A and B are shown apart, each in its own frame.
Chain A
Amino acid sequence: MPNKLLMVDDEADFREIMGKFFKRRKIEFEMAAGCREAMDLIGQDSFDVVIMDVSMPGLDGIECMAEIKKIRPDMEVIILTGHASVNTGLVGMKKGAFDYCLKPIDFDELLEKVLLARERAAGKAGG
């Protein structure tokens, strides 16, 4: 059973666009609109990479990543940030994100990062 990708973002429009993109690239994925939904999904299915928007109501992306890492320390997380502050990306990295992407998304760049994250996740799993 191949691993899936989990996309967490509160914006429905953005999830729809990303869903189309993943489908076209034949990447198995699930969507969550917030942190709680993401945590539920992670408990039920096998994911290796999470793409997470930083600014979300309730728990924000960075806090949510910390929650996920508590139960799945190996999970590779790619965070998505706007350009409100130079520090958000860096804070995410320090808290253990694999990488970050700026919104609006460059699809090729994101795909490249997803593939690298998968490679690293597989490396960890293999020892």
Chain B
Amino acid sequence: MQRMLTFIKELFSPPPSAPPMTPAELKDAFRKRYRNFRALLTANNNALQAMAELEKIYYSGESYRMAVIRSKTTTILVNVYKMISSLLEMSGGRYKDLEVIFEKISHEIEKIIEKKPSFSQGPFILPLAEVGEKDRAQVGEKMANLGEIVRVPGCVVPQGFVITASATRHFLTADHIAEINRRLQLLDPDDLDGLLRTCAEIRKDILDIPMPPDLEELLHVHYARLEMVSRPGCWLAVRSSALGEDAAGVSFAGLYRTILNVDGDGLVAAYKEIIASKYGARAIAYRRKRGYRHEDIEMCVGCLVMVDALTSGVTYSRDPSEEESEVVRINALSGIAKGVVDGTRTTDLYLVSRETPHAVVYREIRQGQGKASDQCADSSLTYGQIRKLAEMALRLEGHFGKPQDMEWSFDHQGALTILQSRPMLISQPQNAQEEAAPSSRAENGEQPILFGGICASTGIACGTVFRVNAASEMPDVPMGAVLVLEHPLPEWAPLLSRAAAVIAESGSEAGHLATVSREFAIPALFSLAGAMDLLADGETITVNASARSVYLGCRQDLLTQRAVRKDIMAGSPVQRILTEALQYITPLNLNDPNAPQFKSSWCETLHDITRFCHEKSVYEMFNFGREYKFDQGAAKRLVGEVPLEWWVVDLADGFRAGADAQGQTIRIEDIVSVPMLAIWQGISAFPWEGPPRVSVRGFGSIIFQSTMRPELDPAVASALTTRNYFLVSKNFCNLSVRLGYHYAMIEAYISDLLTESYVTFRFKGGAADMKRKAVRARLLAEILQTFEFRVELRSDSLLARVKKRPTEFLERRLKILGYLILHARQLDMVMNMPNAVERYKEKFLTDIEKMLS
């Protein structure tokens, strides 16, 4: 109560004596203050808009890039800075400490956004036999795991060595990386052709960088050692082992190159190729989508002696396509493992019990069928080999403590070598209804046009067919297309970000494209014979991968069964950065202008600063007239047939010429501000019925809150706490409405120049609990959306805008807002009553329709 009185005293007592000025000087000073006020409001709009956009992308679950975070943050920083400058000019430097606070906050934000990952220096090359978990930061995920599993009894890995992250930084220096990043930043993210072109250029540049002589010499020394333990001239598999791919649920499957059959002479070239593959189109598109900056990933390279493979494959210690499954899944083929993971070859499938003696519960010999294979139709594995693989997969799962995805080969002597083991990516939990899909097909009577194949990623989606033929160029795939491929090559991964579903004639669930589809939760149906011939470009189809069916047309009945997509950015460095930065940007601590904490020193975020500046700028405008005894600029009380209490400040030409400029009051007839008059028509269209009738529970809650917040006491919440100010000129109006914690603002500029015209509405708070306040805000948001407002809504905070529309359109929007701010008063109190939302929505829409007709 005390602070309320202080405020009122401040507002209505004679102000501190201001320096005397001539009328001309006064007019000029007022004009200048108004100009700054306008600039501050514009900056306020821009800052809050950018904050809303930043929050929107953060909560969308879609992917976003550092470039977006940087540009939005810059917009926010610059506009908050402008607000502070304008307020200082308006107030003669009264709130100077804001600059210091802003400096501190912006410094923190900059530190978060520009923070680079730190890397430690180590040896250039490490023998694989010496590598373990502890060397992860030098050798990357893959090689650290491979070094680690040697400790598992009976587990044999190839001989080899790792070229470390320290070596990579020695080869590809900070200057090279800065130049690469500069080129990538210039790219339009949707321009796939441009991306491919730039990637090809970057690759060429990296291949042209001379190998540091010390590193080259070391490489040959280690190769010579391998020759001694295997055989002279031995062949190596040179594989990427990236660093920083540690986030949960992120596969990075098949993004980087593996080069087989490399001898001593080809080693340097192969090494460069692997390093360059960090900037392959696939890898770049994937990092963007999943929220990794290029600097978050460092390449290490494993050089492993090739296994003379008779049979190879991939084993999952737990079948990824079924939750809680008690089977090990083995995909196998003759020869080396490459054909499994790049999806070019069909594999044999074995499902094996996790219990000893590991009985084969399901077997599908697919090799030798379909056009992708030239193999005979015999089983590629013996039962002994199957059991051995199951045992090994379970042992690795035991060692690492989670299900493993293991790549292996049997050589001609029958010895098993493990080529890789990594944590398995668990597929989306399957929607129970999806499994029922085949039966609903029967009921419906509509048959699928294609049926069969292998479900590589569960889910249902609809889109238009886009057949991808030529491997030479990345085609222009429209958003939401169903990709139809002959082979599910990993090269097509960049297209997945635009695809609704993927169908391929070959491939299995163990391929890289299958892994990436599961990760992006895009339905994928592979090894579906005849798809390329039967499906025509541009045709709309619905793919139910779970039920291995393809239907003509868009089947809404199936689509409603879709599971919700997961947050694609979860756990990524870019998301982490935004999470941290938002802490300094969006939280609002300065809620109540009457609270003792409503001071610049309590501003902790940029949102606080905007709120503070806005409030104080209104105050500075409102007080100019009294401060300088400038009647023309003083606040006048609106009198006549008016509900509640309203004050008006004429900023320039908002009053009728000849209206009493010296008076304490003003009548609505004397106002010529176009936007204010429109709002006023909305306010006065229907009488306010007074506060809604509150249930006992709701009322108890008000009383409870009132004991803590005296301004909510119905006895206190009289005209004095209800401060409604109009600041007006002919084309402009800013209306602030407040009732206790509830705050609403309408701002409009109406001009014949469409680019300048806008209407903005902000609404936040109330006296009820957060749930009811949020319900009220949503009710308003829904109504405004039906009238073409662009709406951003977060809990109880609402921002609605229309701009660049004709005068008549905007005037009607202002009427609607005028109506709503009056009739939504205190409505939050009853938002928990049954049907309240529907009832009020209907009433409001009916009233508005009547008012506008």
Contacts and interface: CB of A to CB of B under 8 A. Distances in A.
B71 A83 contact: yes
Nearest to B113: A86
B67 A83 contact: yes
B755 A93 contact: no
A24 to B, nearest CB: 15
B641 interface: no
A89 B78 contact: yes
A83 B74 CA distance: 9
Interface string B754-786: 011000000000000000000000000000000
A84 interface: yes
B481 interface: no
A83 B185 contact: yes
Contact of B74 (A81, A94, A123): A81
Contacts, number: 54
Interface in A92-127: 93-94, 99-100, 102, 108, 111-112, 120, 123, 127
Interface in B109-127: 109-110, 113-114
Contacts of A81: 74
Nearest to A120: B35
Contacts of A90: 74, 77-78, 81, 106
Contacts of B113: 86
Contacts of B755: 108, 111-112
B70 interface: yes
A3 to B, nearest CB: 19
Q: What range describes how many residues of A lie at the interface?
A: 20 to 34
Contacts of B78: 89-90, 93, 99-100
Given A83-B67, A83-B71, A89 B77 contact: yes
A123 B70 contact: no
Interface string B600-617: 000000000000000000
B81 A94 contact: yes
B731 to A, nearest CB: 14
Contacts of B81: 90, 93-94
Nearest to B31: A123
Interface string A69-88: 00000000000011111111
Contacts of B28: 127
A86 B70 contact: yes
A82 B755 CA distance: 25
B82 interface: yes
Interface in B51-79: 67, 70-71, 73-75, 77-78
Contacts of A89: 74-75, 77-78
Contacts of A82: 185-186
Contacts of B77: 86, 89-90
A87 to B, nearest CB: 5
A85 B82 contact: no
Interface string B82-117: 100000000000000000000000100110011000
Contacts of A85: 70, 110, 114
A87 B107 CA distance: 9
A86 B185 contact: no
A83 to B, nearest CB: 4
Nearest to B99: A94
A114 B185 CA distance: 26
Contacts of A83: 67, 70-71, 74, 185
